[in-house]
Amino acid sequence: MAHTPYCELGKGTFLIASPEIDSGLFKRAVIILCEHSSTGSFGLIVNKQLDMGIPEDLIEADASLAGEELQMRIGGPLQSNQMMLLHNNNDIPDQTLQVTKGVYLGGDLEFLQGTLSANKEPDLLLCLGYCGWLGGKLEREFLDGDWFVTPAKPGHIFKTQPEHLWATLLKEMGGKYASLAVIPDDLTQN
């Protein structure tokens, strides 16, 4: 039986940039789709590391966080000063949206500080900014071949090294996708 590619856009889906997107923030991006409807779509890039320490306003609120490691990502080009939390904690259902099994979006500063203080290595990403599409736009991009889709898994969001996530997902999809995973980042090296 031939491998049938997954092709349903929806909440809890990874959008994997095709090699056709060869520049800018979306080059080799992996986005978790947090909402998708006829009126529009919203997601967070989960594989573009943001190399900076914990924002000082968090440390000022709780000095015990000064030595903590926090995984930070460039969530997208829209409202890049807005912080969004992806995590695996469903203890605050009034503040969070379940994106997929084991992945939640939301939480406030108190939740973030408590999570960092309580756990040595929490499954938590702090994303700055987000990605958004008006109704029908993402579908057009998908049909144009800009994105591949596969169901999102918490382990990939929180455990797979961000610099390997794009290739890892393509390899797991198999077939022609697996062969795309080995395309060099710089085609002049081919």
Q: Would you say residue 7 has pLDDT above 80?
A: no
Q: What pLDDT shows up at residue 144? A: 93
Q: How far apart are the C-alpha atoms of 91 and 159, rounded to whole Å?
A: 21
Q: Where are the domains of the chain?
A: 13-183
Q: How far apart are the C-alpha atoms of 13 and 44, rounded to whole Å?
A: 11
The position carrying tokens 């914990």 is 54
Please state whether beta strands 71-74 and 124-134 pair in parallel, antiparallel, or not at all (unpaired): parallel
- List pLDDT tens digits, range 83-141: 999 998 888 878 889 999 999 999 887 888 777 777 556 688 999 999 999 999 999 99
Q: What band does 185 get if pLDDT is binned at 50, 70 and 90? A: confident
pTM of this prediction? Answer: 0.87
Q: Domain 13-183 is classified in which CATH homologous superfamily?
A: VC0467-like (3.40.1740.10)
